[in-house]
A and B are shown apart, each in its own frame.
Chain A
Amino acid sequence: DIVMTQSPLSLPVTPGEPASFSCRSNQSLLHSSGYNYLDWYLQKPGQSPQLLIYLGSTRASGVPDRFSGSGSGTDFTLKISRVDAEDVGVYFCMQALQTPFTFGPGTKVDIK
């Protein structure tokens, strides 16, 4: 199975300020199509996860453009250009290259 790691595990943020966090895999997630098979999900408190980013950098429908995904191969980053109070929760990355799909442990984001 592909092992996913994330850092930091906890991130206090200030509204209006940028934030970024990392996701790494122990195998390359670059598909033969040229796309990286890496998704980002946000699980807000008490809610189910919601899709933010797929294919490493494609924003899902309705996701604000302050969220951006980047990276390739084994190293990926999710950036929030200006944190909003509604962005608190746990951010999970998931490798979507091969089954079993596996998730990282999550980065918990809360307001300072």
Chain B
Amino acid sequence: QLQLQESGPGLVKPSETLSLTCTVSSGSISSGDYYWGWIRQPPGKGLEWIGTRSNSGSTYYNPSLKSRLTISVDTSKNQFSLRLTSVTAADTAVYFCARHRRDWGNYFDSWGQGTLVTVSS
């Protein structure tokens, strides 16, 4: 069964860059026509889709974050990453990585456990 695990700093200072990595195991990130995405959840709140990237390089970003966001895929390491610049307290959230299926509809069928990132000085 595919497994995903987020990693990265749990504390980031305001105006700095948030960087997270998702390591995929029990499956290849480059097999199949899969996409790889990030979703976040502020403490006690709902879910927000951040963005998605395919193995072939197609990207789809939430317009509300697009100017600050980069999602990349490293097939050699079986990882994909999120980079969010100029963070503020509003970016404090649990960040989930997930596999995004686009064969029929759009859905996230495998999720990481999530990692809490706090933006604070």
Q: Which residues of A contact B104 (CB under 8 A)?
A: 35, 54-55, 58
Q: Which residues of B contact A54 (CB under 8 A)?
A: 101, 104-105, 107
Q: Which of A19-27, A70-78, A80-88, A92-100 contacts B (4 or more CB under 8 A)?
A: A92-100
Q: Which of B14-22, B42-50, B70-78, B82-90 contacts A (4 or more CB under 8 A)?
A: B42-50
What CA separation (Å) do A50 and B47 show in the bound complex? Answer: 13
Q: How far is the CB of B42 from chain A (nearest CB, A)?
A: 12
> Could you say which of A41, A60, A92, A99 has the most chain B C-beta atoms within 10 Å of its C-beta?
A99
Q: Cβ of A39 and Cβ of B47 under 8 Å apart?
A: no
Q: How far is the CB of B38 from chain A (nearest CB, A)?
A: 12
Q: Which residues of A contact B96 (CB under 8 A)?
A: 48-49
Q: Cβ of A100 and Cβ of B64 under 8 Å apart?
A: yes
A 32-57 contacts with B by CB, 8 A: 35, 37, 39, 41, 47-51, 54-55
Q: Which residues of A contact B107 (CB under 8 A)?
A: 39, 51, 54, 60, 96
What CA separation (Å) do A58 and B103 show in the bound complex? Answer: 13
Q: Cβ of A49 and Cβ of B111 under 8 Å apart?
A: yes
What CA separation (Å) do A96 and B102 show in the bound complex? Answer: 10
Assess A51 versus B108: contact at CB under 8 Å? Given A99-B62, A100-B64.
yes
List 29 contacting pairs A-B, 8 Å CB cutoff, sorted by A. Answer: A37-B105, A37-B106, A39-B107, A39-B108, A47-B113, A48-B96, A48-B111, A48-B112, A49-B39, A49-B108, A50-B111, A51-B108, A54-B105, A55-B104, A55-B105, A60-B107, A92-B46, A92-B47, A94-B49, A97-B106, A99-B49, A99-B60, A99-B61, A99-B62, A103-B46, A103-B48, A103-B49, A105-B46, A106-B46
